[in-house]
Structure 1
Amino acid sequence: MRKLPYSLAINEALHQMMSSDNSVFLIGQGVKSPWYAGNTTKGLLEKFGPGRVIDTPVSENAITGVGVGTALAGMRPIVVHPRLDFMMYAMDPIINQAANWYYMFGGKLSVPVVIWGIINRGGEQAAQHSQALQALFVHIPGLKVVTPSTPYDAKGLMISAIKDNNPVIYIDDRWLYTLEGEVPEEVYAVPIGKGIIRKKGSDVTLVATSYMVQEALNASSILRSEEISVEVIDLRSLKPIDKILLFESVKKTGRIVIVDGGWKTCGITAEISALVSENIFEYLKAPIIRVTLSDAPAPASSVLENVYYPKAKDIIKAVKKVIGKGTTI
């Protein structure tokens, strides 16, 4: 099967969905510039024109409001925020409007909008341009949240998000944009709410999201050489979470390490910890361990960034501790 980089897998999903459905359109800052959104919008303006590839001023609230409003009117907008940080300006149309309309109208009114936020970590971008804020949206009823970690899932989950009849928050990480993987040429959908086992194992369940799946796989390969068998689960969807997959793995291994690129307090790892503790506590052989960002803003210094962002070595320490082969994290 042919291989594509992550960014071009997204690009192909956009081309295919916009070609097959005239109600699909893209709106956001910099969409006419392939560079601005990491080649994900390459060729769209030339093919579909400015009526369906709408480059906007810097006004996140207005852009998202247009997306929500046109979704209510029967369109299928994709609202792109090239920096997830500034989606905070759009919290009213996302949380107060899009997330609630289906419920408030008794299921008679849908809001088929994709809100696409890009995490831009590293590169000395500091605290205001590099935040992983996915946990904020997971907290909100009425929103689905997906975080693809591979080119295959980047395309398949974008297609699923566009086809969904209610709001989907699609969050990707620019660190993944050059990652290559097998991607079918045809249109396909990755089901929202279905995780996947990336590597089977028997000693520890290692749950990861987005870019951290790659670090988890790197860690598992190193640990395998030390005869530690790690099962790597890629959640793919943060809401809904694939509880069945999660619980069955933990029942098998009895140990769990949870890895996320966001902060620890009230984050994704806290929710997964609670789910495991509340539902299958009796299967645990050791306390749950989490690997996350420190509860501190991102530094601007590249030297400090190297310490700030969790890596495979941090995951390895956590796994060794949970199986009793390490003393500190």
Structure 2
Amino acid sequence: MRNILGSFVKSAVRHVKGCSEFSSVTTIRHSSSFTYVPDTLSSSDGESTRMNLFQAVNNAMDIALGSDPTAVVFGEDVAFGGVFRCSIGLQEKYGKDRVFNTPLCEQGIAGLGIGLATAGATAIAEIQFADYIFPAFDQLVNEAAKFRYRCGNEFDCGKLTVRTPCGAVGHGALYHSQSPEAYFAHTPGLKIVIPRGPAKAKGLLLSCIRSNDPCIFLEPKILYRSAVEQVPVKDYEIPLGKADVLVEGENVTLLGWGTQVHVLQEVAQLAQDRLNVTCEVIDLVSIQPWDYETIFNSVRKTGRLVIAHEAPLTCGLGAEIAASVQSNCFLHLEAPVQRVTGFDTPFPHVFEPFYLPDKWRCLDAIKRVVEY
């Protein structure tokens, strides 16, 4: 462990020395922040109201409980609203039989969800932090993901959604900051989704809850209150497995998900201002299944790809996307695919600003692919 942390610190120091923008610890901490870019609605979206992300999640569950009498919400502390208040008010509205606390046992929460869904209920489970989903890993990847396959499609536990907060939050350290999406993306039979903001969160969560496949819905916890925008009041769903092109460009494709999408939108503007380079920014949205067609089409146009995610480099989802792009877009590539990610260490506390793929690290990656 000492050698791992030592190499991490050395890498961080090299990064700081190589960036003229960093001049103090205060500047370093500020550099890891991001500017939230709200989604805009069209007239077809109808009436809307201002919500942050946790309110949008709450609203989606409220609609699900109100429209489906079999729907239940459960997890540690959800009865009083949960740590992040995502389920606040739901027990008072729907009763203790439909919104209830569970013991502090993630394996039990996942097992209960599988049983409920198998029996015909719509199960909406909360794991309090994504870092604590690992005790439930066996239930999710060996039972939920395989249920339909092992039964020859005679039975399934499709109406199971597991919600959990993920990612960096500024002070979470190694047990409250992880991004485990790649672990689950390796397993056929699961759908994995990460929203970038409130409007997407509501529509995607309702799609997951109503999906015929078990879904893992990862909510970037730093966005719970910092992401605020107009959200449609109506009941609506957003298709799973479809990426969003947020900014069109000609020179470089920038790909991320969750919080990183907002970092990349800021990076795209920096690249335009400093390098006279136009970047196409894509939110992957669905981790599994992922929208390879949208990604490939963009890379064939730009010839360059930068992927950014908070999870560690080795075997992160960026590796799978890079390999797929290399196989399908090889003759269109003008430079090797770049990955800007967390490091292969436990998630740090005071070194979090070094660990995260901030706008300056992403801008450096753009420089590399343009100058290759």
Q: Which TM bucket (shorter chain)?
A: over 0.9
In the alignment, which residue of structure 2 is the partner of 1:216?
264
Tell me how far apart the structure 2 counterparts of residues 120 and 194 of structure 1 sit (CA, whole Å). Answer: 22
1:269-280 equivalences under 5 Å are 269-280=318-329
Cross-structure match for 1:289: 338
Separation in structure 2 between the aligned mates of residue 6 and residue 322 of structure 1, nearest angstrom? 34
Residues 83 and 120 of structure 1 are in contact (CA less than 8 Å); yes or no, is this contact kept in structure 2?
no
- 1:197 is aligned to 245
Q: Sequence identity, in percent?
A: 35
Q: Which residue of 2 aligns with 1:311?
A: 358
- 1:207 aligned counterpart, secondary structure: strand
The aligned amino acid for 1:45 is Q
- 1:49-92 Cα distance to aligned partner (Å, 9 max, x none): 11111111211111110000110000010111121111101112
Residue number in structure 1 paired with 2:59:
12
Mapped partners of 1:184, 1:87: distance in 2: 31
Offset of residue 204 of structure 1: 0.3
SS at match of 2:66: helix
2:368 & 2:280 partners in 1: Cα distance? 16
Aligned match of 1:67 in 101, 113, 121?
113
Q: List, as ranges, runs of 4+ consecutive aligned residues in structure 1 with deviation greater than 6 Å.
A: none
CA contact (8 A) 2:308 2:362 kept: yes
1:170-209 pair list within 5 angstroms = 170-178=217-225, 179-209=227-257
Letter in 1 for 2:262: Q
Q: 1:90 aligns with which of 125, 136, 140?
A: 136
* Pick aligned residue for 1:251 from 281, 292, 300: 300
1:105-144 correspondence runs (5 A): 105-111=151-157, 112-119=159-166, 121-144=168-191
- Matched-pair contact (CA < 8 Å) for 2:124–2:163: yes
Q: Distance in 2 between matches of 1:116 and 1:316?
A: 32
Equivalent residue of 2:307, what SS? Answer: strand
Deviations 1:203-253 (A, max 9, x none): 100010111101111111222223210100001001111011011000100
2:86 corresponds to: 40
Q: Offset of 1:191 from its aligned partner? A: 0.6
Give the structure 2 partner of residue 160 of structure 1.
Answer: 207
Distance 2:50 2:281 in 1: 23
Q: Deviation of residue 45 (structure 1)?
A: 1.1
For 2:101, the equivalent position in structure 1 comes to: 55
Deviation string, structure 1 residues 25-52 (Cα, Å, up to 9, x no partner): 1110110233x34221121111011111
CA apart distance, 1:120: 5.1
Secondary structure at the counterpart of residue 208 of structure 2: helix
2:231 partner amino acid = V
For these two proteins, the number of residue pairs brought into alignment is: 322
Contact 2:161 2:216 in 1 (8 A): yes
Tell me, what secondary structure is at the counterpart of 1:213? helix
Give the alignment partner of residue 196 of structure 2, picking from 108, 129, 149.
149
Q: Is the 8 A contact 2:71 2:123 kept in 1?
A: yes
* Structure 1 residue matching 2:325: 3-state secondary structure: helix
- The higher radius of gyration belongs to 2
**Partners of 1:149 and 1:22 in 2: how far apart?**
29
Q: Structure 1: 5+ residue runs without aligned partners?
A: none
Please give the TM-score of this superposition, normalised by the length of structure 2. 0.84
**Alignment TM-score, normalising by the size of structure 1:** 0.95
Which residues of structure 2 form unaligned runs of 5+?
A: 1-47
SS of 2:362's equivalent in the other structure is helix
Structure 1: how far apart are the matches of 2:355 and 2:255? 20
- 1:81 matched to 2:142? The reply is no
Q: Separation in 1 of the partners of 2:174 and 2:61?
A: 30
Q: What is the DSSP-based 3-state SS (H/G/I as helix, E as strand, rest coil) of the residue aligned with 2:126?
A: strand
Q: Give the letter aligned to residue 239 of structure 2.
A: P
Deviation at 1:123, TM superposition (A): 3.8
**1:2 CA displacement:** 3.1
Superimposed CA distance per residue, residues 77-116 of structure 1 (whole angstroms, 9 cap, x where no aligned partner): 0111121111101112111111001111112212110011
State how far apart, in whole Å, the 1-side matches of 2:290 and 2:83 are: 28
